[in-house]
Amino acid sequence: MSDPTTIRRLYGRRHGHALRAGQAALLERRLPELNVTADGPLTAERMFGDDRPLGLEIGFGRGEHLAAQAAARPDMGFIGCEPFLDGVVGLLGHIEARGLANVRIHMGDALDVLDRLPDASLDAAWLLHPDPWPKARHAKRRFMNKGPIDLLAARMRGGAEFRFGTDHPVYCRWACMVMGLQPHFRWLAERPADFLHRPDDWPETRYEAKARRIGHEVWYFRYVRAG
């Protein structure tokens, strides 16, 4: 099976419904100033003007989790990767409403950002409710594969935390298998409550809320980068 770092594709279609006039205006006004730089290394100094801690959210959905994290940690810089236009507009709305100045956006594949981040530059990373790609032939598109996780590990400093959440049992089992073979991360769970209950500093996403409404169980995984 090919790995996502080889096929360079973690997502399907990029566009949903047509944007309303206000959304289109917000996108045109704010996205150019918040886009990550087009080339070169993605350092904190280049993106935020100082040497601050960095966090990365891989597929931020509509942006509610990323915005909450950024509001709670104004001295930290956050990079959000999301290929879907509706999601980018959602995050821009949160940024505008909260007056956030510590978020940068890449409307595309997270692998592109990971390629450009320096080694040991990330202090935190999140992968929350990604598309499970449940069919066997689509498993190669999951971020949870050896190639992307190896790349993420290289970009995280020792002691940095990686959080993964899902309500899909197939993806849950797959992630446990992939991370169980990973020498660079240590699972922080010591008892079932540690992965069955959302930590207080883990804001709920709309995807998680939807999963709860339809009766799905949700699992919360926390890993620390060894070394």
pLDDT in tens, 112-167: 999 999 999 999 999 999 998 888 788 888 999 999 999 999 999 999 999 999 99
Task: Return the minimum-mean-pLDDT range out of 11-20, 67-76, 117-126.
Answer: 11-20
Please return the burial class of 114, using the count of CB atoms within 10 Å of its CB with bins 0-12, 13-18 and 19+: buried
- Give the dihedral sign, CA 103/211/130/174: positive
Q: What is the average per-residue pLDDT within 97-116?
A: 97
- In the block, tokens 């909450």 appear at 68
Backbone angles phi, psi at 153, to 5 degrees: -60, -40
Is there a catalytic annotation at residue 201?
Answer: no
Kindly indicate the confidence band of residue 215, based on its pLDDT and cuts at 50, 70 and 90. Answer: very high
Task: Output the CA torsion sign for 77, 53, 113, 134.
Answer: negative
Quick check: 5 and 148 in contact, CB under 8 A?
yes
- Numbers of helices and strands, H then E, in the chain: 10, 7
Both structure tokens of 177? 């298998």
Check 131, 150, 167, 201 and give the catalytic one. Answer: 131
- Between the alpha carbon of residue 162 and those of residues 13, 21, 210, the distances in Å are 27, 37, 23
Tell me the pLDDT band of 4, cut-offs 50, 70 and 90.
low
Task: Give the number of C-alpha atoms closer than 13 A to the C-alpha of residue 35, restricted to the C-beta side.
Answer: 12
Residues in the chain: 227
- pLDDT average, residue stretch 20-31: 91
pTM: 0.91
Using pLDDT thresholds of 50, 70 and 90, give the confidence band for residue 189. very high
Q: What pLDDT is stored for residue 26 in this prediction?
A: 92
Note the pLDDT tens digit of each residue in 42-59: 999 999 999 999 999 999
Yes or no: say if 198 and 204 are a contact pair by the CB < 8 Å rule: yes
What is the predicted pLDDT for the residue at 1?
A: 56
